[in-house]
Chain A
Amino acid sequence: MAQTFSRSANVIARLLLVGSVVVIVLLASLGAALYRSPVLTQVGIAKAQPIPFSHQRHVGANGIDCRYCHTSVEKSGFAGIPPTETCMTCHSQVLADAPMLAPVHESWKSGESLEWTRVYDVPDFVYFDHSIHIAKGVGCTTCHGDIDDMRLTHKANTLHMGWCLQCHKDPGKFVRPADKVFDPEWRAELDDSFEQAVDGPRLVEENNINVGQLTNCSVCHR
């Protein structure tokens, strides 16, 4: 009687056994890596905007305070996107004829708002409020990165829940003095009068941050 399988069948069977494990592990690792990579998180990738607005120019070089444009950041959940009027306080005089700024002037004439593309977007099932973070001593750059160095604005952090929880579990590692919250250049390690390991927990105490409840599901998922 002829053999059902050729000799190579043994090799194929063994390869399949090992191969299927390898393929599954590889696929899982690839998926996990992809999920954490900028391809999906968009970290470090600038988005196309109607105007190539540079935070580096406005914040870093000109030293304009964050709140000059993002007016509601201390009072409401939404930090606020400036209306064209805010741009025109300077740009009615400065670079008034620059073709780069044509959309601003058009918007000023027509009354139609500029449509910016959101860079930082959390899912609809996440409740996020800027004002409480500012009030409790979370600096702008803690989440938004070196905004004063960004020629085009991009995400500096993943906004993954695990990233949020780093601070929600131990805010002492991240909070800063109230007068430094809007300072884009402040770094705890460059400030001789501030020791994060000591002053962080002190600020948590002073600002009445109730750490225990920060990891309750309903704090963010309401």
Chain B
Amino acid sequence: MESKTTHPSLTPTAPIMAPGHSYESISREVSDVVLEHNMPRAWYLCLFGVGLPLLGVLGLSTGMLFWEGLGLWGINNPVGWGFAIVNLVWWIGIGHAGTLISAILLLFNQDWRTAINRFAEAMTLFAVMCAGLFPLLHVGRPWAIFFILPYPNTMALWPQFRSPLLWDVFAISTYFTVSLLFWFTGLIPDLATLRDRSKGVRRKVYGAFALGWRGSAKHWFRYEMAYLLLGGMSAPLVVSVHTIVSFDFAVSVIPGWHTTIFPPYFVAGAIYSGFAMVLTIMIPVRVLFNMTDFITVRHMENMAKVMLATGLVVCYGYMCELFYSYYSGSEYESYMMTNRMFGPVGWAYWCLLLCNMATPQLLWFKAFRTKAIPLFCVTIVVNIGMWLERYVIVVTSLRRDYIPQAWDSYAGTAFDWAAYVGSIGLFVTMLCLFVRFLPMITIFELRVQHHEMERGEIR
């Protein structure tokens, strides 16, 4: 079944779906994970050995933080942001893969998104939840967090509309809402499949969320339109959210932050880390849940290519920062760069270059894109590198900005680490619950894909 338009040299390495499937086998294999309870041992290990204990760490440390106050964290007068903002930006960045895969790849008609979009979107939602946690903790008075919203109040007071921190509130909450709607809309036909394949209470629960889906032509027509519209709405959000997060830095006048490269550099970094995280999770999951037929080497390779491309944009950002600090002629900017490279936390900068600039170059080699273990290692390194990048940006610039009298040192305390590690626990727990209760791959889109493969429209 040769496609007329594809040049032989462009033939992909692996098919988008393993051969030998039927509509029935697709529905069965994906929904059985949920309906037949056959969770692999690793799932129990992840949930009860990693997710829930770390979630406990988060709960405990957060309780103590609320009780005692922010003094438990390492933040001080020049370094007021610290781990909380590092983690916020890291998680938000990770949360970019979902909408990119769902919306942008949908609009660009990239068929290979089918098998991974559900998972990536779920991951996005959980990452944004983890991200949202940190401003809540960082304000110090979480019970007054609603002050950040513009609502009619007895104080005759509005939030500062000129502050990017407020834009952040809108950007992130919009992003979360649209991502949730997009994810849920995509779930509806699959929830109906689960409803039809289950019995008893589960049938009622899945049925209630399936919103009476019967799969009529009218349903499908409306569904396709709604999904496309939501895709169109989410597409600009992929760019806007991390742009506004970068404004938190770029709109201020701190050396090392006040640059115009920040928005594109942050967006590329977000997609880079988002894809790294999707791969980090996807590589073990596809094996553990026997999904290698649907999430193939082709998917891994494509995602690795996106990582390589965005990684190169991030490298360009690093180069620009170097250039700006020299070309600005500002002694504060150039000192910032000297301090970043050779100052007290210079090690973090060199580690970040190693992780984010050197390591992804391995992805030029096909073996690193297609072999599970090397690719997994690269994604882990990139995840660490992206955290270090935000640490370097937040901490080195704040520690030493202008007047040496105001300089100070900074180090995260045990409570900083507990909040960070705890948020990973929240993330792992949510992911485990997601694969347990919802189909991790879009069943109906796989069926469409199967149909198109049979007709030779895609390979």
Contact, CB under 8 Å: B154 / A35:
yes
Q: Pick from B154, B157, B212: contact of A36, CB below 8 A.
A: B154
A10 to B214, CA, bound (A): 14
Determine the residue in chain A with the shortest Cβ distance to B207.
A4
Please tell me if the beta carbons of B207 and A161 are within 8 angstroms of each other in the complex: no
Pair A161/B154 contact, Cβ less than 8 Å: yes
Given A4-B195, A13-B212, A161 contacting B156 (CB threshold 8 A): yes
A165 adjacent to B156 (CB under 8 Å): yes
User: Which of A5, A13, A158 lies in contact with B154, CB distance below 8 A?
Assistant: A158
On chain A, the residues within 8 Å of B156 by CB distance are: 161-162, 165-166
Mask, A7-38, CB within 8 Å of B = 1, is 00110010000000000000000001001100
- A160 CB–B CB distance under 8 Å: yes
Within 8 A of B (CB), among A131-182: 158, 160-163, 165-166
Contacting residues, chain B, for A163 (C-beta < 8 A): 154
A4 touching B203 by the CB < 8 A rule? Answer: yes
Is A4 a contact of B157 with CB atoms below 8 Å?
no
In the complex, what's the smallest C-beta–C-beta distance from A30 to chain B, in angstroms? 15
A162 and B153 alpha carbons, distance in the complex (Å)? 8
The answer, yes or no, to whether B45 is at the interface (CB within 8 Å) is no
Q: Does the CB pair A162–B204 fall under 8 Å? A: no
Which residues in chain B, 137-154, are within 8 Å of chain A measured between CB atoms? 152-154
In whole angstroms, how far apart are the Cα atoms of A166 and B154 in the complex? 11
A32 to B153, CA, bound (A): 8
Flag B194-227 by CB within 8 Å of A: 1 or 0 each.
Answer: 0100000001100110011000000000000000
Minimum CB–CB distance from A18 to chain B (whole Å) comes to 15
**In the complex, what distance in Å separates the CA atom of A32 from the CA atom of B154?**
9
Among A13, A32, A160, the residue within 8 A (CB) of B155 is A160
| Bound Cα distance from A161 to B153, whole angstroms | 9
B156, B195, B204: most-surrounded residue (chain A CB, <10 A): B156
Q: What separation, in Å, do the CA atoms of A13 and B211 have in the docked complex?
A: 8
Residue in A closest to B198 when the chains form the complex, CB atoms: A4
Bound-state CA distance A165–B156 (Å) is 7
Given contacts A10-B212, A13-B211, A13-B212, contact A4 B155 (CB under 8 A): no
- Chain B residue total in the interface (Cβ 8 A): 13
Distance, CA A4 to CA B195, complexed state (A): 9
Q: Most chain-B CB neighbours within 10 Å: which of A4, A163, A166?
A: A4
Q: How far is the CB of A127 from chain B (nearest CB, A)?
A: 16
Q: Is the CB of A5 within 8 A of B153?
A: no
Chain A residues with CB under 8 Å of B204's CB are 4-5
Per the bound structure, the CA–CA distance linking A162 and B204 in Å amounts to 50
B218 CB to closest chain A CB, in angstroms? 16
What's the minimum C-beta distance from B239 to chain A, rounded to whole angstroms? 31
Q: Is the CB of B155 within 8 A of A5?
A: no
A26-81 contacts to B, CB under 8 A, are: 32, 35-36
The answer to whether B154 and A160 touch across the interface, beta carbons within 8 angstroms, is yes
The distance from the CB of B177 to the nearest CB of chain A, in whole angstroms, is 15
Collect the chain A residues with CB atoms within 8 Å of residue B208's CB: 5, 13
Whole-angstrom CA separation of A5 from B209 in the bound complex = 12
Q: Would B211 and A161 count as touching, CB distance under 8 A?
A: no
- The residue of chain B having its C-beta at the shortest distance from the C-beta of A217 within the complex is B157
- B154, A162: Cβ atoms closer than 8 Å: yes
Q: How far is the CA of A32 from the CA of B208 in the complex (A)?
A: 33
Q: What B residues does A165 contact at CB under 8 A? A: 155-156
Distance in Å: Cβ of A27 to nearest Cβ of chain B: 14
Distance in angstroms from A84 CB to nearest chain B CB is 37
- In the assembled complex, the CB of B203 is this many whole angstroms from the nearest CB of chain A, namely 6
* B437 shortest CB reach to chain A, Å: 18
Contact with A along B151-178 (1 / 0, CB 8 A): 0111111000000000000000000000
Q: A166 CA to B211 CA in the complex, in Å?
A: 50
Shortest C-beta distance, A145 to chain B (Å), equals: 18
Nearest chain A CB to B216's CB is how many angstroms away?
15
- Pairwise interchain contact B152-A5, C-beta atoms closer than 8 A: no
B212 nearest CB across to chain A (Å): 7
Q: Are A161 and B157 CB-contacts (below 8 A) given A4-B204, A4-B207, A32-B152?
A: yes
Interface string of A164-208 (1 = CB under 8 A from B): 011000000000000000000000000000000000000000000
A180 to chain B minimum Cβ distance, whole angstroms, is 27
Which residue in chain B gives the minimum CB-CB distance to A40? B154
Chain A residues near B155: list those with CB within 8 A: 160-162, 165
A4 partner residues in chain B, CB cutoff 8 A:
195, 203-204, 207
In Å, the complex CA distance between A13 and B157 comes to 39
* Known interface pairs A35-B154, A36-B154, A162-B153; 16 further A-B residue pairs with C-beta atoms within 8 A, sorted by A's residue number: A4-B204, A5-B204, A5-B207, A5-B208, A9-B212, A10-B212, A13-B212, A32-B152, A160-B154, A161-B155, A161-B157, A162-B155, A162-B156, A162-B157, A165-B155, A166-B156
| 20 contacts across the A-B interface (CB closer than 8 A) | A4-B195, A4-B203, A5-B204, A5-B212, A9-B212, A10-B212, A13-B208, A13-B211, A13-B212, A32-B152, A35-B154, A36-B154, A160-B154, A160-B155, A161-B155, A161-B156, A161-B157, A162-B153, A162-B155, A163-B154
